[in-house]
Amino acid sequence: MKHLLFWVLGYLATVLLYLFHSPTALAVISLGGVSLWLIGALINQRLVVRVAVCTCIAMINGAALAYLSALNLLSTSLIVINMIAVIVICELLERYHHIDSHQHSILRIVTSILTYVFIPAMLFGAIGVSLVLYQTTIATQTVLFSAVVGTSLALFVGTPFVLAFMGRGDAYLQSVYQFRHVMFCVVVISLMVATAAISWHLFSAATVALFVLSVVFYDFKTLNLCSFAVGGLASAALNFHYINADSGLLDSGFYAFTSIAVGYVTALFVWRYKKLVAHSSAQLSQLHESFKHTFELSPEMLLTIDSSGTVQEVSQGFADAIGEPKELLCGRPFTDFMTAQGQQAFTKHALDVESKFMLSNLQLLSSEGETLTVNLKAELFGTPSGICTLCFLQDISEQIELAEVLEQEKELLEVTLSSIGDGVICTDVNSKVTYMNPVAEAVLAKLTREVKGLPFDEVMPLYNEDTKQPIRGLTDYCIKNNKLMELPELTCVKNHLKLEFAIQDSISPIYLKNGEIVGAVMVFQDVTESRIMSRKLSHLAHHDVLTGLPNRLLLQDRLSQFCRRALREEHNFAVVFIDLDKFKKINDSLGHAVGDSLLKKVAKRLTNCIRSCDTVSRMGGDEFVLLLDAVRSRAQVGKVVKKILESVSGCYELDTVQVELAVSAGVAIYPEDGDSADALMKHADTAMYRAKKVARSNYQFYSVELDKDAEFKIEQESAIAKGIKDSEFIPYYQPVVNAQSFLLEKLEMLARWDHDGELAGPHQFIATAEEANLIGKVCEQLLQKAFRDFSSWLEKMPSLTLSVNISVLQLIEPEFIDIFLCSLKRFNVPPINVEIEITESSLVSNLDTMKQTLLDLKSHGIRVAIDDFGTGYSSLSYLKHLSFDTIKVDQKFVSDLTGNIDGGELAIVIVHMAQSLQVNCVAEGVETAEQARILADAGCHQLQGYYFSKPKSARAIDSIIEAGVSIVQSRTLL
């Protein structure tokens, strides 16, 4: 509130003083400029305060005019207009000019003064002029002079004051223009009024003196305050003289304007000089303090010495390096911290008249006796006390150690590059060779000094091993693209001696620590031998070792290529799956060496039968696959395959052994039988298995029916597996009777499958079970049930024998006899009451293995019978090497027996043979009484067939045993 009071009182003192000299309308108009004085009082007040203050001021001014008998409507209107102008300007500045000293530019401040101060003041002044001209007869020139001069002069001189406010804000005004400044201004205004009233010359001199003294004794802020006040006062004084002395108007205006302008400009120059001197002094003082502070706290090694070499000042860095406090270092000779050699060198330069000098590798001694190697740079400068030297010391101990380390690393690097097994070639950024290690020199047969500076492509002529095309510009590309590069595959190099080397590895840019590329380095390995080995391994991976033909892996790749090419070119090709018939028998009987020799000869014949565009490969074992490209029709393929089979089948001479070979083939044609590699292979394989079943040396084309058979076979395998799980396999029994009495002596177990309510015979599932490796589980289930039934029958008929058919695949298993005996023991069945039947064909095909198996069976009391005797082998010499108990005459020989004995003599021969071998003889398939009589008369021991009984269930056999009569009688009874 003091601040507001001081400004208002100052304004009222000026206005009232002026009004008492000239209480006219022109005086009130000229006070428009002085009214701007109130901006400093009201700028930081609320609108209510502004209105209240301006109302009070207007009332005071009105009271003064009333006291002077000059109050009228015109004067009152002019006073109100002046107050409104002040309020409006304050509002404009507060609302639209946001004070921010860090962001306001001079241009924006000046623009704001013109927009928010000058233009509003002129507008309100124009309103006042219009009122005066309308209600009085005063000359227009006089009215305009009073308004424009008063307002313009006040604004011109008061601009620094307004700038101070615009740039710093009202808070600045409150803190700077305090009570003493306002009081000083009041005193000055009083004196200026007195001088103006006395003489304009005295007013001019006083104005200049006032401005200069305000700058000298105070500062620019006081100058602003005074100038603002004097501007308003001068405008009022000018109008006063203008009104009372028209003849002296020009002289008065000239003196007033000149005195204010000269005084203000002179004051500005004085203030500027004073400011520069003060600023320079402050800068020098600050610089001295900053230098001293920086010098003392600097981590660098700095010190000053006088002309005698005594240390004057030291930095913290030097004190830390020496290891002593700064207080103990000052005043000591600098040479105390040097070695003897360093003292001589330093003394020589210190006595020199040069202004600066340098010493390299100067050695200092620390308080702990450690040696520091430094570079010294000295600058001589003069001081009031004499010549001093400023010394800059750079510790290079670490640099020296680093240089030694780098030298060692360089030596180690050279040794390493010389010792590694890879070749190394370095180039510069222009791909010119700069270095080669010994391995690279050995490969290229040249020394580094011979090729240094030559282009890389000339020194290292690279090329592709397959295409023989040169490989150029690798180092240029690597440097340009700033990236590591692998050498292309199959890269080779040929030196000037025409020696070729296969190489591999990479090329990389060479970087400095700052990331700059200075060249490229190529590291390579001689992989000539490994590449040859790789080719061999690749060949082995894709070709059969025995025959050299493409293997399954390469066949799949070529078959896929055939499919793609056939699709693109719209032609057909054939896949032929070939299998050697009974190769396993040849391999087992004659040995693997003979089998391998046979495979080689077969591969050679196959290769000779095909065109160069076709492919023959070995799938493994005795299976071969042919790819016949670009075929026209099935008829053409049939002719080709028939020709191949005729060529491959036939006699082979193998190590003095002749082998007759037959082959089977299956054919699938693209795209009729499949459009993919897997489909064609599958269908050709299916056709081949069909060919093996039809006849030897036969081929079959694939058809949809074959797939149906294969699907049926898969379904049947699944059903058999489920049947085993659900115990659907049951034994049936066919009686074997005494040939004379027809009494029951033996039962042959026969397999049946109770599936979906139907009873299936062995011919419907045994072959499928064998192929699916399920025959063992089927037989195990049948034997378990049969032994259970047979155990109960033995209690009633101890001499009864159970005959079971066992596959050779089961008999040759090492654990079969033990498992079989355990089953007999479990059901309390004596081994002597069990007979195992083996077909003649399977027995002879595994003769060597079966000899020991039969002996083992006999040793445990189990009987052995040869089934289907006379149907499977042309030579009977094997009989003397085997131990067996029974021969069973096959039913096809028995069926030939009629009343004419000559027609069935082969069955009688077998009966007589059994008698001579002293083994039991059983005739199968007896269907008539005549056949039974003939066999009995010939001496056959036992008979079996539908004449006596069909295979029966266990319950039916119970009835026969309970009857205890001959089979013929029991059949009559039943």
Residue-by-residue DSSP string for 671-733: TTT-SSHHHHHHHHHHHHHHHHHH-TT-EEE--HHHHHHHHHHHHHHHHHHHHHHTT-EEEEE
- Give the pLDDT confidence score for residue 245 in this predicted structure: 46
Phi-psi region of 497 (alpha: psi -120 to 50; beta: other; left: phi over 0): alpha
| Distance of alpha carbon 501 from alpha carbon 433, whole angstroms | 20
pTM of structure: 0.40
Mean pLDDT of 377-389: 73
| 196-200, 465-469, 880-884: range with lowest mean pLDDT | 196-200
User: Would you say residue 353 has pLDDT above 50?
Assistant: no
Q: Crossing angle, helix 47-67 and helix 73-96, to 10 degrees?
A: 160
Q: What angle do CA 901, 905, 909 make, to 5 degrees?
A: 135
User: Would you say residue 173 has pLDDT above 60?
Assistant: no
- Give the pLDDT confidence score for residue 841 in this predicted structure: 75
Tell the residue number behind the tokens 């189990």, with chain if given: 862
| pLDDT tens-digit map of 818-848 | 888 998 999 999 999 999 998 877 777 677 7
| 158-167, 242-251, 646-655, 914-923: range with lowest mean pLDDT | 242-251
Per-residue pLDDT band for 249 (boundaries 50, 70, 90) equals very low
| Distance of alpha carbon 603 from alpha carbon 623, whole angstroms | 10
| 13-22, 744-753, 937-946: range with lowest mean pLDDT | 13-22
- Give the pLDDT confidence score for residue 253 in this predicted structure: 47
3-class SS at 524?
Answer: strand
In whole numbers, what is the pLDDT of the chain averaged over residues? 78
| 89-98, 205-214, 678-687, 868-877: range with lowest mean pLDDT | 205-214
- Give the pLDDT confidence score for residue 211 in this predicted structure: 56
Residue 942, H or E segment: strand 942-943
- Closest alpha carbon to 759 in 739, 715, 729: 729
Per-residue pLDDT band for 60 (boundaries 50, 70, 90) equals confident
Whether the Cβ atoms of residue 77 and residue 131 lie closer than 8 Å to each other: yes
- Closest alpha carbon to 433 in 455, 418, 449: 455
| 276-290, 544-558, 837-851: range with lowest mean pLDDT | 276-290
Residue predicted with more confidence, 353 or 451: 451
| 13-17, 772-776, 786-790, 912-916: range with lowest mean pLDDT | 13-17
| pLDDT tens-digit map of 212-228 | 555 545 554 454 545 54
% of residues, the chain, pLDDT over 70: 75
User: Would you say residue 495 has pLDDT above 50?
Assistant: yes
